[in-house]
Chains A and B, each alone.
Chain A
Amino acid sequence: MVCIPFRRDDYKHIENVFGYRVQHTLTMGPTKGGIRYHEDVSLGEVSALAMWMTWKCALMQLPFGGAKGGVRIDPTDLSRSELQRLTRRYTMEIINVIGPDRDIPAPDMGTNEQTMAWIMDTYSQQVGRTVREVVTGKPVVLGGSLGRSEATGRGLVFLACKAAEYLNMKMSDCSAVVQGFGNVGSNAAKCLAENGAKIVGISDVSCGLHNPDGLNVAALLKHVAEHRVLKGFPGATEVTNRELLELDCDILAPCALQNQITEENASRLKCRILAEGANGPTTLEADRILQDKGVFVLPDIHGNAGGVTVSYFEWVQDTQNLSWTLEEINDRLHKIMTEAFQRTLTRAQRDGLDMRTAALIEGISRVAEAKLLRGLFP
């Protein structure tokens, strides 16, 4: 936990904000996890996300432990130069705990490839040589991987397709609702549409949109590029966040915030597949209700693991000075995501578990085995 003083653009004003970096377990190798800039970031939130990263990496059989970091600030309130100063100072505050063989940050909510470029540059300046592999999610020109920015949404849709296949549903007959239109939500919507699903509902911070005849994702992206938010998009009815989640659909993909599907609304969900792109969107009580309703859940630690998987590809490429094509990356991502799906499904069926518990046990058992094999020092 660090205190980060940085200068605002009016030179006399110095802002002090809190930053965090939590490494959950060092057993599996270096730790890996995003850095978020958000006004609600806290030690508890970052710790939870770090723990989930551990299970996620283990489930995908990546050689990482989990980590997460964040700065409690609203990044939309800062200019580009203020963001750069904040990022460089935060990097300096945590420089002794990060590194390509120690802890590798990545983008998360409120940060992007530019933030990663500043972290990489600050770290490299300190060690005296360019260390591209200290962060992932960088711009491609600085050693970033092709396909990284859309990886989380794409990975989620790979899983949704597998789940539909398992449930004997054709993607071309499926309707989908996506909550969130940021990096994960917009790419998930795009990939769902590419796979033939009809997007009947979508939302962002400004509003929810519903059209039972389908929403054109390309037109949505164009509207957001021009107006910043979905509000005002023609040809759709505005709905509230609660109404959006309860829309009639085959696939519901919460890709925005935690704690969205609760005891209060779970019984009213009408989807057959719940594909979790966000972290922690469903409470434990809601999980039980969904299981009783027969909703097939693709849990968050699996659903949004596409991001860290392609981050791993980026780290491997940087470490070995290799460049993989987009086709190679998507093929490898598909293989890793679907193999983890099969392992989880097999465990769920064999032990009579729900998919979330099966995925968690897959991840936890791998870490526990590694911990026991390493033994206890001294």
Chain B
Amino acid sequence: MTIAPVTTAQANVEWDSPMFRLAQQQFLRAAQIMDLDENVKLRLL
């Protein structure tokens, strides 16, 4: 019964990588400068 919460927590840890944060930050900065359509931005993030 305790497996599911642990797995969920692990999944969050999986996403939390410095490299992913860097890629997202770079993308968001470029998207802001180029005034990228908000819907397209969300679909590409």
Which positions in A face B, CB cutoff 8 Å?
Answer: 25, 42-45, 47-49, 51-52, 54-55, 258-259, 279-280, 283-284, 351, 353, 356-357, 360-361, 364-365, 367-368, 371-372
Q: Is the CB of A365 within 8 A of B15?
A: no
> Contact flags (1/0) for B1-44 with A, using CB distance below 8 Å?
00000000001001111111011111101110110110010011
A45-B19 contact given A25-B44, A371-B44, CB 8 Å threshold:
yes
Chain A proximity of B22: nearest CB distance (Å): 5
A283 vs B16: C-alpha distance when bound (angstroms): 16
Which positions in B face A, CB cutoff 8 Å?
Answer: 11, 14-20, 22-27, 29-31, 33-34, 36-37, 40, 43-44
Chain A proximity of B16: nearest CB distance (Å): 6
A304 vs B2: C-alpha distance when bound (angstroms): 44
Which residue on A lies nearest to B26, using beta carbons?
A: A360
In the assembled complex, 10 residue pairs joining A and B whose CB atoms fall closer than 8 Å, in A order, are A42-B17, A44-B17, A51-B24, A258-B19, A279-B19, A356-B26, A364-B30, A368-B44, A371-B43, A371-B44
Q: Is the CB of A44 within 8 A of B44?
A: no
Interchain CB contact (< 8 A) of B36 among A47, A280, A353, A368: A368
Q: Is the CB of A259 within 8 A of B37?
A: no
Chain B residues within an 8 Å CB radius of A371: 40, 43-44
Which residue on B lies nearest to A359, using beta carbons?
A: B30
A351 vs B33: C-alpha distance when bound (angstroms): 10
Chain B proximity of A373: nearest CB distance (Å): 11
Q: Is the CB of B22 within 8 A of A48?
A: yes
Chain A residues within an 8 Å CB radius of B31: 364
Q: Is the CB of B30 within 8 A of A357?
A: yes
A365 vs B31: C-alpha distance when bound (angstroms): 9
Nearest 5 A-B pairs (CB), nearest first? A44-B17, A44-B20, A48-B23, A43-B14, A360-B30
Interface of A is mostly: helix
A195 vs B26: C-alpha distance when bound (angstroms): 32
A371 vs B24: C-alpha distance when bound (angstroms): 19
Chain B residues within an 8 Å CB radius of A48: 17, 19-20, 22-24
Q: Is the CB of A372 within 8 A of B19?
A: no
Interchain CB contact (< 8 A) of B37 among A25, A353, A372: A372
Q: Is the CB of B29 within 8 A of A259?
A: no
Q: Is the CB of A52 within 8 A of B23?
A: yes
A259 vs B27: C-alpha distance when bound (angstroms): 17
Chain B residues within an 8 Å CB radius of A283: 22
Chain A proximity of B13: nearest CB distance (Å): 8
Chain B residues within an 8 Å CB radius of A44: 14-17, 19-20
Chain B proximity of A123: nearest CB distance (Å): 27
A357-B29 contact given A44-B14, A365-B34, A368-B37, CB 8 Å threshold:
yes
Which residue on B lies nearest to A50, using beta carbons?
A: B23
A368 vs B38: C-alpha distance when bound (angstroms): 11
